[in-house]
Amino acid sequence: MIEMKGVSKKFDQIQALTQVSGVIREGSVFGLVGTNGAGKSTCLRIMAGILKADEGSMMVDGQEIFENEEMKKEIFFISDDQYYFPNATPKEMMEYYRMFYPCFDEKRFEELIKKFGLDMRRRLNTFSKGMKKQVSVLLGICANTKYLLCDETFDGLDPVMRQAVKSIFAMEIINRNFTPIIASHNLRELEDICDHVGLLHKGGILLSKDLEEMKSNIQKVQCVVSEEEKMELYKELEILQTEQRGSLLTLTVRGEREKTEKVIRGKNPVFYEILPLTLEEIFISETEVVGYDIKSLLL
């Protein structure tokens, strides 16, 4: 488990993080969402023990991570622009990481490199951005660490490769004690893989919730009702957003699905259906409740 308590970090006059607190539980896929400059990379670097917080504590499995050599063996950090040695090949980078991660699985790395259609002996500086990303993810997976910190990992991967990486993450969670933390500015990249999502905004955690819990408590409803019945719905439901096109009324409602449906059915609608909500829609609704309007910030 990773615990952040009042973590703050400043670079000269720039306040990167301000009193960030939160918990990342084991065996879940945690999505750290935020706009560019929100502090995601700084937060991950403090988690990895690369940077030291100016204030607060970053605890990994109950221990401070900074300058903790043994705990760092349980964490693999993939930066947005992963560094490789000049003229290095995937094979040479594998041999390098094997020195620091005692459980590194060389055989599996070679197998995955082959499955991804990459060349173990080709120089990495001749690879495309997406190919380099693939190598960094495979190195992280095969290091067999408990925690894998990914900074914009899916940026640069094509849709097929994104799905392949997500599938590998899912299998790792099933087969061993594995917790990936994925930072991204794009909610759509995370909604089909993350269990828990935190929104980092202006250096602080604005919202951190279980994704299924959020989904179960917010409903998107389309219905056709009379004007009188519509007014009754407005009174009986906790409506977060409303949109009407012709006779079709679309409502975003806070509340359990069964209770919401019961109220709507009681108005004898000509038509109604419950639609799935995107992660973007959920976050917009949740942040508006706490007094923020982030529609213009989300991609």
16 contacts 9 by C-beta, under 8 angstroms = yes
Give CA–CA dist 108/142, Å, rounded.
7
Predicted pLDDT of residue 186: 75
pLDDT digits (tens, 9 = 90+) for 227-265: 999 999 999 999 888 899 999 999 989 888 999 999 999
Would you say residue 114 has pLDDT above 90? Answer: yes
Mean pLDDT of 100-106: 94
More confident residue, 162 or 104: 104
Predicted pLDDT of residue 299: 45
More confident residue, 279 or 99: 99
Token couple for 75: 């964490």
For residue 42, give the DSSP letter: H
Predicted pLDDT of residue 208: 77
DSSP per-residue letters across 165-222: HHHHHHHHHHHSS-EEEEEES-GGGTTTT-SEEEEEETTEEEEEEEHHHHHHHEEEEE
Give CA–CA dist 47/49, Å, rounded.
5
Predicted pLDDT of residue 161: 85
SS3 category, 255: coil
Would you say residue 184 has pLDDT above 60? Answer: yes
pLDDT digits (tens, 9 = 90+) for 62-94: 999 999 999 999 999 999 888 999 999 999 999
Q: Which of 74-78, 90-94, 194-198, 214-218 has the lowest mean pLDDT?
A: 214-218
- Domains, the chain, ranges and CATH? 2-202 (3.40.50.300), 214-289 (3.30.70.250)
Give CA–CA dist 138/94, Å, rounded.
10
* 113 CA to centre of own chain: 25
Would you say residue 298 has pLDDT above 60? Answer: no
Residue spans of alpha helices (H) in 210-265: 211-217, 227-236, 257-265
**Integer-rounded Cα radius of gyration of the chain:** 22
Q: Which of 39, 33, 36 is nearest to 279 (CA)?
A: 33
Count other Cβ atoms within 10 Å, centred on residue 159: 8
Would you say residue 297 has pLDDT above 60? Answer: no
Residue with tokens 């594995």: 178
Q: Which of 70, 47, 36, 66 is nearest to 148 (CA)?
A: 47
Predicted pLDDT of residue 296: 53
- Confidence tier at 192 by pLDDT (50, 70, 90): confident
| pLDDT above 70 as % of the chain | 94
Q: Which of 204, 194, 223 is nearest to 282 (CA)?
A: 194
More confident residue, 164 or 204: 164
Average pLDDT, the chain: 88
Q: Which of 81, 94, 92, 82 is nearest to 144 (CA)?
A: 94
| pLDDT above 90 as % of the chain | 57
Count other Cβ atoms within 10 Å, centred on residue 291: 7
SS3 category, 45: helix
Mean pLDDT of 46-55: 95
Crossing angle of the two packed helices 90-100 and 129-142, in degrees rounded to 10: 30
More confident residue, 148 or 27: 148
Mean pLDDT of 181-195: 81
